[in-house]
C-alpha cells in the first residue's frame, strides 16, 4: 500500500517536472525571439524617429499647398471671365466695323451710279450741242455743261478702287472673328485645369485628415462647376468651313440693315467705268 502511494506521488512529481521544463523551454524560446527581434525594433524606432519630422514637414507643405489651390482655381476663373469679356468686346467692335464697311460700300455703289449718270448726262449735252449748229451760244453753253459733268465724273473716279479695299477689310474682319474662336477652346482647357486642381485639392484634404491634421476653417471652397470638354482643341479647317457659312449669313444681315431691309444690287460690278 505504502509503495503504491509512493509510486503515484513520484509519477505526479515527474509530470510536474516535465510541465515545468516545458514552460522553461517556452520562456527560453521567447527570450531568444526577443533577442533576435530587438535589433529590428531598434531600427524601426530609429526610422520612425527620423521620419517623424519629415512627415510633419510634408503635412505642413501639403497644408500650405491645399490653402493655395482655391486661389489658383479662382484665378483661372478670373482669367476665363476676362478672356470672355475681351473676346466679346472685340467681336462687338468687329461687328460695328463690318456694319460701317457695308454702309461705306453702299455709298461707293451710289457714287458709281452717280458717275455713270453724269457720263450719260455729258453725252446727252454733247448730242444736244451737235443738234443746234446754228446757235453757237447754246452750243458753247452745252459744251461747258459737258465739261463740268466730265470734271464731276473725274472727281468720283478716285473712289473706284475703294470697293476692293472694303472687301479686303471685310475678309480681315472675318479672319479676326474666326481666330477668336480659339477663346472657346482656351476656356474649355482652363476649365479642365481648374477641375484637376479641385480634384487634387480634395485628395490632399483627405490625406491630411488621414494624417490627423484637422482642416483649418477658412473661406468657402464651394465653387460652381462648368461643363467642359477635356479634349477640346481648335481645328482651323473645320472652323474655316463653319465661318464661311456664318460670314454669308452675317453679310446678308448687315446688308439688310444697311439698306433698310432691301437687298443690295451692286451695279456695275463687271461694267467698265465710262471715261
* Nearby residues of 89 by Cβ (< 8 Å), 6 or more positions away: none
Predicted local distance difference test score (pLDDT) of residue 83: 83
Q: How many CB atoms lie within 10 A of CB 149?
A: 20
In whole angstroms, give the CA distance from residue 137 to residue 44: 127
In whole angstroms, give the CA distance from residue 213 to residue 208: 5
In whole angstroms, give the CA distance from residue 193 to residue 230: 9
Residue 214, helix vs strand vs coil: coil
User: How many residues would you count in the chain?
Assistant: 275
SS3 track for 63-109:
HHHHHHHHHHHHHHHHHHHHHHHHHHHHHHHHHHHHHHHHHHHHHHH
Q: Pick from 118, 128, 121, 202: which is nearest to 156 by CA?
A: 118
Q: How many CB atoms lie within 10 A of CB 13?
A: 10
Q: 156, 115 in Cβ contact below 8 A? A: yes
**What's the predicted TM-score (pTM) here?**
0.46
Predicted local distance difference test score (pLDDT) of residue 2: 65
Tens digit of pLDDT at every position of the chain (275 positions): 666 676 677 776 777 777 777 888 888 888 888 788 888 878 877 877 777 777 677 777 777 777 777 887 788 788 888 888 888 888 899 889 888 888 888 888 887 787 778 778 878 877 777 777 777 777 777 778 877 777 777 766 666 677 788 888 888 888 888 887 777 777 777 778 878 878 887 887 787 777 665 544 444 444 445 554 455 454 545 455 555 655 565 566 555 554 444 444 433 433 434 33
Predicted local distance difference test score (pLDDT) of residue 14: 75
Q: 194, 76 in Cβ contact below 8 A? A: yes
In whole angstroms, give the CA distance from residue 220 to residue 143: 87
Amino acid at each position: 500500500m505504502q509503495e503504491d502511494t509512493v509510486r503515484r506521488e513520484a509519477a505526479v512529481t515527474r509530470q510536474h517536472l516535465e510541465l515545468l521544463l516545458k514552460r522553461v523551454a517556452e520562456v527560453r524560446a521567447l527570450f531568444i525571439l526577443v533577442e533576435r527581434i530587438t535589433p529590428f525594433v531598434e531600427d524601426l524606432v530609429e526610422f520612425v524617429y527620423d521620419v517623424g519630422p519629415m512627415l510633419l514637414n510634408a503635412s505642413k507643405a501639403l497644408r500650405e499647398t491645399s490653402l493655395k489651390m482655391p486661389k489658383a482655381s479662382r484665378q483661372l476663373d478670373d482669367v476665363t471671365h476676362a478672356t470672355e469679356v475681351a473676346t466679346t468686346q472685340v467681336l462687338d467692335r468687329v461687328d460695328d466695323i463690318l456694319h460701317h464697311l457695308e454702309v461705306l460700300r453702299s455709298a461707293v455703289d451710289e457714287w458709281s451710279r452717280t458717275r455713270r449718270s453724269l457720263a450719260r448726262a455729258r453725252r446727252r449735252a454733247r448730242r444736244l450741242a451737235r443738234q443746234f449748229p446754228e446757235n453757237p451760244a447754246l452750243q458753247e453753253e452745252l459744251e461747258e455743261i459737258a465739261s463740268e459733268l466730265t470734271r464731276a465724273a473725274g472727281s468720283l473716279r478716285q473712289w473706284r478702287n475703294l470697293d476692293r479695299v472694303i472687301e479686303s477689310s471685310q475678309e480681315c474682319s472675318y479672319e479676326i472673328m474666326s481666330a477668336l474662336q480659339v477663346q472657346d477652346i482656351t476656356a474649355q482647357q482652363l476649365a479642365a485645369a481648374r477641375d484637376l486642381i479641385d480634384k487634387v485639392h480634395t485628395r490632399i484634404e483627405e490625406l491630411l485628415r488621414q494624417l490627423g491634421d484637422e482642416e483649418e476653417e477658412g473661406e468657402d471652397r464651394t465653387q460652381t462647376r462648368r461643363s467642359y470638354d477635356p479634349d477640346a482643341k481648335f481645328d482651323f479647317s473645320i472652323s474655316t468651313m463653319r465661318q464661311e457659312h456664318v460670314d454669308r449669313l452675317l453679310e446678308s444681315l448687315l446688308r439688310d440693315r444697311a439698306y433698310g431691309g432691301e437687298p443690295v444690287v451692286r451695279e456695275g460690278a463687271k461694267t467698265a467705268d465710262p471715261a
